[in-house]
Chains A and B, each alone.
Chain A
Amino acid sequence: QKEVEQNSGPLSVPEGAIASLNCTYSDRGSQSFFWYRQYSGKSPELIMFIYSNGDKEDGRFTAQLNKASQYVSLLIRDSQPSDSATYLCAVNNQAGTALIFGKGTTLSVSS
Chain B
Amino acid sequence: SAVISQKPSRDICQRGTSLTIQCQVDSQVTMMFWYRQQPGQSLTLIATANQGSEATYESGFVIDKFPISRPNLTFSTLTVSNMSPEDSSIYLCSVDPGQGHTQYFGPGTRLTVL
**Residues of chain A at the chain B interface (Cβ within 8 Å):** 32, 34, 42-46, 49, 51, 88, 92-93, 96-104
* Docked complex Cα distance between A97 and B44 (Å): 14
Q: Select one of A44, A97, A98, A103 contacting B105, CB under 8 A.
A: A44
A44, A88, A100 interface centre (most CB from chain B within 10 Å) = A44
Q: Determine whether the beta carbon of B43 is less than 8 Å from that of A101.
A: yes
In this complex, the interface size class of chain B, counting residues with CB under 8 Å from chain A, is 20 to 34
Question: How many A-B contacts at CB < 8 Å in the complex?
Answer: 49
In Å, the complex CA distance between A103 and B31 comes to: 24
Contacts of B19 in A (CB 8 A): none
Asked if B101 contacts A32 (CB within 8 A), the reply is yes
Interface of A (DSSP majority class) = loop
Closest to B6 in A: A43
Q: List residues of chain B with CB within 8 A of the CB of A104.
A: 42
Contacts of B33 in A (CB 8 A): 97-99
Tell me if B96 and A97 are in contact (CB < 8 A): yes
Across-interface contacts of B48 in A (CB, < 8 A): 97-98
B92-114: CB near A (< 8 Å → 1, else 0) gives 10001000111111111000000
Listed by A's residue number, 13 A-B pairs whose Cβ atoms lie within 8 Å are A43-B92, A44-B92, A44-B105, A46-B103, A46-B104, A51-B100, A93-B45, A98-B103, A99-B33, A99-B43, A99-B45, A102-B42, A104-B42
Name the CB-closest residue of A to B45: A98
Q: Are B92 and A46 in contact (CB under 8 A)?
A: no
Q: Does B53 contact A (CB under 8 A)?
A: no
CA distance A49 to B100 in the complex (A): 9
* Residues in A neighbouring B107, C-beta threshold 8 A: 42-43
Residue pair A100, B102 in contact (C-beta under 8 Å) = no
